[in-house]
Amino acid sequence: MSAVDQTTEAKRPGPDLPRVLRLAELAALVRATPGLHVRWSEGPDRDAARTSIDTESGLRLPGLSVNPLDPEAWWTRPWEDWLARQLSQYRHLGDENPDRYAWVLRGELVGRGPDCEPLLSDVEPVALLSGELLREAEERYRGAFDAGRGPEDSAVRATAWSEDRPGFFRLTVADTNCYLVRTADGATLVDAGLPATGRALDALLRHLGMRRTDIDAVILTHGHFDHVGMARSLHAADVPVLVHERDQRLARHPYSYRPARARVPYLISHPGGIPVIGRMALAGALAVRGVAARADAVDGVRVDAPGRPMTIHTPGHTDGHCAYLFPDAGVLVSGDALVTLDPYTGRCGPQIVADAATSDAGVALRSLERLAGTGADLVLPGHGEPWAGGISRAVASALRVGRH
Ligand SMILES: [Zn+2]
């Protein structure tokens, strides 16, 4: 192939793999081969000979920590810019140890590491990245980006959406997701995000050639402020808003809930959650106004809206929390009954939400069984990345984490 150079570099340690010399070649390789990742280490042979350990906890990791190279769906700038940023942001991983180098690999995604990075097993090395390429990436990154601009800043400006499965569009602002489901019959919005999610929604609707009034229904997983943000304005545009009857009052007064533990002292003891809550505040979380939702989400009944999702009452996080199953697509929108990022602790991986925001954790853990019973293969949570490893594994992992 022309994208890589088969020569080896005598001084460099490492296996006899093709070396990628230029960013443009790497972009061509990534384009031609979806699912590639980069890793900084002493090489595939050394990695194969020992197990990876999470140094802080001492626990064994089920796979190698890697960083993805595929651009996200919202990335509309050149792929070289994306790669330059990815490579520059993690370059320090090689700086601490001169025997470490960057290599490209693929494998099976088996989990997430302590910083939410993907973990791969059954690894197949693909190529080495040359020092010239890493220097080119660094220069391009400095030239093409506002390098070092804080994530707080970008989170507020973010108008990000992605299509997780055909017709399932995720809007993410301040680590809070909602989903526009588009079918031949129309569109259903599952959850209504934060007020600032409105810009992301409008960008997505523009992309789809739609307007807000083309949304047929908003269905809420529950009535918390971070899931109700745009509901009132959509309701004012005559879009019906649905919720379970036991969360109808909460949807009208989204701050009126009483968690198992008061939030402020909890956040002080779990500082990992403060940035997320701070970003939510910047995205308008403190100014959400309630909505007069219809109590038409009924357990075991399919919602009369595009996609016809099955309502699954999953109380615990709130009394009226519901997940929505799209059986034909194998997709479960789990809301906050099961998340992959806990906004109150900053912890990643499938879990119920912390006591700081959960009404009854024991009930929430029992509701996980109902989710497991759906057999869905893709889980779209209220917070965190989608989980494509099947609902059973997600539930098993949430039960291991347990109450927190
Ligand atoms: Zn939430």
pLDDT digits (tens, 9 = 90+) for 205-226: 988 999 999 999 999 999 999 9
User: What's the gap in Å between 225 CA and the centre of ligand 1?
Assistant: 8
What is the whole-number distance in angstroms between the Cα of residue 47 and the centre of ligand 1?
Answer: 38
Give the pLDDT band (50/70/90) at residue 146. low
Q: What pLDDT does residue 351 have?
A: 96
Q: Is 0.85 surpassed by the pTM of this model?
A: no
Percent of the chain at pLDDT > 90 equals 52
**Tens-place pLDDT, residues 217-267:** 999 999 999 999 999 999 999 999 999 999 999 999 887 765 555 555 445
Distance CA 85, CA 81 (A): 6
The encoded tokens of residue 292 equal: 């007069």
**Confidence (pLDDT) at 9:** 40
Place of tokens 């490579």: 87
- Whole-number Å distance, alpha carbon 263 to ligand 1 midpoint, is 14
CA of 89 to the centre of ligand 1 (A): 29
* Domain locations in the chain as residue ranges: 19-144, 155-401
Centroid of ligand 1 to alpha carbon of 320 (angstroms) = 14
Dump pLDDT digits (tens) for 263-280: 554 455 555 555 667 777
125 or 88, which is more confident: 125
* Distance of alpha carbon 20 from alpha carbon 83, whole angstroms: 13
Note the Cα 341 to chain centre separation in Å: 8
* CATH 3.60.15.10 correct for 155-401: yes
Q: Length of the chain in residues, anyone? A: 404
Q: Could you tell me the distance, in angstroms and rounded to a whole number, from the CA of residue 86 to the centre of ligand 1? A: 29
Distance 389 CA to ligand 1 centre (A): 22
Query: What distance in angstroms lies between residue 222's CA and the mean position of ligand 1's atoms?
Result: 9
State the distance from the centre of ligand 1 to the C-alpha of 224, rounded, in angstroms: 7
Distance between Cα 36 and ligand 1 center (Å): 31
Element (H, E) at 5: none
SS3 of 229-262: CCHHHHHHCCCCEEEEHHHHHHHHCCCCCCCCCC
Distance 181 CA to ligand 1 centre (A): 19
Ligand 1 center to 226 CA (angstroms): 5
Task: Give the integer Cα–Cα distance in Å for 346 and 371.
Answer: 23
The alpha carbon of 371 and the centre of ligand 1 are apart by a number of angstroms equal to 17
Contacts of 143-146 with C-beta under 8 Å, sequence gap 24+, read 144/77, 144/81, 144/84, 145/81, 145/84, 145/85
Q: What spacing in Å lies between the alpha carbon of 53 and ligand 1's midpoint?
A: 31
Report how far ligand 1's centroid is from the alpha carbon of 382 (Å): 6
**Using alpha carbons only, what angle is made at residue 352 by residues 350 and 358, rounded to the nearest 5 degrees?**
160
pLDDT surpasses 80 at 287 = no
pLDDT, residue 258, reads 57
Task: Give residues with Cβ within 8 angstroms of 204, minimum separation 6.
Answer: 161, 169, 171, 180
CA of 317 to the centre of ligand 1 (A): 9
User: How many angstroms does the Cα of residue 383 sit away from the middle of ligand 1?
Assistant: 6
| pLDDT score for 153 | 41
DSSP code at position 289 = P
Dist. CA 221 → ligand 1 center (Å): 9
Residue 229 identity: G
CA of 177 to the centre of ligand 1 (A): 8
Q: How many angstroms is it from 117 CA to the middle of ligand 1? A: 22
How many whole angstroms from 336 Cα to the centroid of ligand 1?
6
Strand, coil or helix: what is 394? helix
* Secondary structure (H, E, C), 57-96: CCEECCCEECEECCCCCCCCCCHHHHHHHHHHHCCHHHHC
Residue 198 CA to ligand 1 center (angstroms) comes to 17
Mean pLDDT, residues 277-301 taken together: 85
| pLDDT for res 75 | 83
Contacts of 218 (CB under 8 A, 6+ apart): 188, 189, 190, 191, 192, 230, 231, 234, 235, 239, 240, 241, 242
Rounded Cα gap, residues 256 and 252, in angstroms: 9
